[in-house]
Structure 1
């Protein structure tokens, strides 16, 4: 019974494969160890107001500065006795999303807040 020796190309392929697999396992381990556990923390950044006919559009950027994702994030804008609200389906940790609230009068003095969310 003769034993075949491996070619140089096979050895190179084996070394590259082992290296890539080791890097992948190391990366997964590093991400698992360094994963944060901070709950969702929201920060609102007001954008520009634009008027289209009789309605005012207020752009907002919602930041989640926490590590965990948040689902059903509800943002409410109050102006006088009127409210405008929007709900984000999902906002991952350390992510941001731009939304728009619509008002019937100029929202420069509107009070904007995140009023609730759930964990996905």
Structure 2
């Protein structure tokens, strides 16, 4: 079986790899509240920033979250889905190209943590 080839960043830039992802060029795994077992507490889906980005792209907030997860091209998101139409909605997230303005807006609403934090889940 052949090696999975990661998609390259759309902007052609280099990707800084976190310490847990040691093999350059290999797809990584990223835990996402959208795909975890359990229920989100709501902050993610109630975010004005994510709602605005979704509005700009004619998308849903979960699609924007998935687009953010895979934006660099070296991460594979595997969201759960129980209905075929939900699977198609998830797949449509790949067509969303987040702009620098979108990323800045999301980063203001969800700044990088300065310490370990649990997922916002029940």
TM-score, with structure 1 as normaliser? 0.22
RCO higher in 1 or 2 (8 Å CA, sep ≥ 6)? 2
Asked which structure has the greater CA Rg, the reply is: 1
TM-score relative to the length of structure 2:
0.22
